[in-house]
Each structure stands twice: as C-alpha cells, then as structure tokens.
Structure 1
Amino acid sequence: MSKRHAAKYKIDRRMGENIWGRPKSPVNRREYGPGQHGQRRKSKVSDFGTQLKAKQKLKGYYGNISEKQFRATYTEAVRVKGDTGENLIGLLERRLDAVVYRAKFVPTVFAARQFVNHGHIKVNGRRVNIPSYKVKVGDVVEVKDTSRQMILFMEAVQSGERDVPDYLDVDHGKGTAKLSRVPTLSEVPYATQMEPSLVVEFYSR
C-alpha cells in the first residue's frame, strides 16, 4: 500500500498539476504547492530540478511507487531494445494495477493497487495479488465474479470521467480486460504531459 494513499492530492499540489485529471483535485482551486511556503514565488528551476520533477511526476502518477521499484523498472527499460523512454512507459503501463485502472475497474490508481492486493483480480484464470505484476500482450485480466458486485467496481464502470484506451480490449459485463499491445507514449491517456526522456536524463547523470 502506498504511504501516500491518504494524501494523494499532495502529489498534485507539489507538482502544481492535476496529474490524473480528476475534478476533485485541489489544483483546480489553487495551483500553488502544499504547506505554509506553497505560495512563495518560484525561482528558476535547474536542469536537475526539471529532470527530478519529471521523474517524481511519472512515479507519482502510478500510485507513487517506491524509488526502488521505479529504478528497477528504469533499469529493465534500458536493457530492452529500443528507445528507453518509450520502453519505460510500456513497462509502467503493463503493471497489473495500471491495467486495472485503465480498464476502469476502479476509480483511481491507488484503488487499483488495493483492489489487486486484496485478491479481487485474476490473470489468465489465476489469482494475482501483486500490483507490480507485469501483464503480457494477450493476457486476460479478470475481476472475480463476487468482486463485480462491489460498489467500487460498479461506480467505476459507469463513470464518464475517463475512457478506456485502445490498447485494451475490455468487457465490463464480464469484468475482463485483455492487453492487445504495449502502448507508445502518445497512446497513453495522461491528463498532463509526461516526459520520460527527462527521466532517462535524470538516471543517466
């Protein structure tokens, strides 16, 4: 469980952006950071600061995963052939909690992590309770029959707040989602601009 589950909107305010595009975000009302010094005039940000913010924003978006996990994902992205930034996005979108969130089985990525942790999800017929589990192309992610009666699931499915991206084949009636392909950066429906190239620069220093 993320340590920031109870204060997830602090991430929005710290970044100064509504990174999930949610209507309840405090950034919609005040764009300055949290705390008593949040309204101070901002000084010019260094290259390091810009890279750090890009990393913190991307890490925060996926439920503020730990630095150790995020660094491991980056290391894997470096090993895979192709553009490291694109590989990083592809690996993050293949996380089981990310797929559950994208499929609109739950309202937030934090709820997705909890949903997976509590055993409500099966992958190819087998229960998986590890949010960082990497879903492969063609895998079928399924909400357990009993879990489809939960208010959390039913409200998320009916919500018009966001759409299911094209790289997932989702059947809300059956509670299933299949990853049809690993998405590119341009295909991922981020509510704000993500800059994985700056994340690569940060770790390449």
Structure 2
Amino acid sequence: MAKRTSTKHKIDRRLGLNLWGRPKSPFNEREYGPGQHGQRRRKPTDYGIQLMAKQKLKGYYGNVSEKQFRRYHAEAVRRKGGTDENLIGILESRLDSVVYRMKFVLTIFAARQLVNHGHINVNGRRVNIPSYLLHEGDKVEIKKSSRELLAILEGVRSNERDVPAYLNVDHNKMIGTLVSVPKLEEVPYPVHMEPNLVVEFYSR
C-alpha cells in the first residue's frame, strides 16, 4: 500500500487544484504550489501535460503506487474496448474506491484505512485488501461491530458528495452493491480527468 508520510492536502497544492473538491482544502485559499518557488508557473511540455494527468489520477485514488498503476494500465490494454475507459473502470472497481463512493467515509484515505483494518465485508466475507477488484453485483457491507465508528457516521451524514448512480446503497443497513462498472462520464470527479493522456504517457 502506498504510504502517505505528509498531509494529503499537499497533493492539492502540488497539482494546483482541489483534487477531491473538499471545502477544507488549502488550495481554496492558496492557489499555488507549496514551497519557496510554488508560485512560479512554466508552460508545460506535452510530456508535462501527460505526467500531470497521470499524477492527478493516481493522487485521486489515494496515491496508488507507480508499480500498481502500471499493472492497471497493462490490464486496461488487455481488456476489450477503449484503454482509457477500461482504466477508469478498474480504478472505480477497487474496494477502497467503492467504499469511498458509497459515502461510508469522508476521504479515499479513510476508505483505505477502513478496509485495511478489517471493517468491510464483501459478499459476506471479510476483505482487508484495498486494491481488491469488485465485480458487478458484489455487495459491500460495514461489519456490524464497526457501524458506530465515528469516521463511518461522519461519512454517512456528510452532504459533501452524492452516491453515483452505478452504486446502490442503503445507509441504514450499511450495505451497498456495485450495480455496474462505470464509464468515465458517469464518475463524479470534482476536477477534469484525462485518462486518454495517461494512456499516451504509458505508450511513449
């Protein structure tokens, strides 16, 4: 699992955007990168634009490791259909992504921690691997003994995000279903994502 040794908000400032659309992001007050030279802006090269697209997508899903991200790209290439759409489908099928989308927690990082600590069941069995890939029809459930955790209660009560249409969630029963693997236009990103540029980056 990719470890975050610094605050996740530095990702926002480094990339120059409010990646998760959160009201507490420091980018809302300081729209420039961290450090002494954070306000300097250079015209990006084609490589730089592709790299930024990759960093945005990696960062959004909790800073997925480069090794794992390359595996996802290779799998997306292997599958039928558009590689960019396949890549988004794989990322959105990750267990931590689905837990986050179902609003069981406030952030993707909290979702990863929730899964790691064994608070999630998939189809009735405990799964503690955040990168576990779900299939259509799989049921995700908060363990009964974990349903009063503050992080979960805050996530369920939050009005920051809506549950997307490709998920069916009952917050009273703390259970949800992956109805379908989404296409790019169905994913509620708060910023513009360009998976086609990510594919170009790995195809160089």
Structure 1 length as normaliser, TM-score? 0.98
Give the distance between the partners of 2:39 and 2:19, measured in 1 at CA. 19
- 2:75 — aligned with what? 76
Structure 2 length as normaliser, TM-score? 0.98
- Post-superposition CA distance 1:25-50 (Å, at most 9, x none): 0110011101111012x121000000
Deviation at 1:177, TM superposition (A): 1.0
- Post-superposition CA distance 1:67-106 (Å, at most 9, x none): 0011101110000000000000000000000000000001
Give ranges in structure 1 of 5+ residues lacking alignment.
none
Between the aligned residues of both structures, percent identity stands at: 68
- 1:13 — aligned with what? 13
Give ranges in structure 2 of 5+ residues lacking alignment.
none
RMSD of aligned alpha carbons: 0.8
Deviation at 1:3, TM superposition (A): 2.3
- 1:36 — aligned with what? 36
CA contact (8 A) 1:2 1:110 kept: no
CA contact (8 A) 1:5 1:110 kept: no
Give the distance between the partners of 1:97 and 1:200, measured in 2 at CA. 23
Deviation at 1:7, TM superposition (A): 1.2
CA contact (8 A) 1:104 1:156 kept: yes
Deviation at 1:6, TM superposition (A): 4.1
Give the distance between the partners of 2:160 and 2:187, measured in 1 at CA. 16
Deviation at 1:173, TM superposition (A): 0.8
- 1:160 — aligned with what? 159
CA contact (8 A) 1:89 1:196 kept: yes
- 1:117 — aligned with what? 116
User: Paired residues, what number?
Assistant: 204
SS class of match (2:147): helix
CA contact (8 A) 1:140 1:177 kept: yes
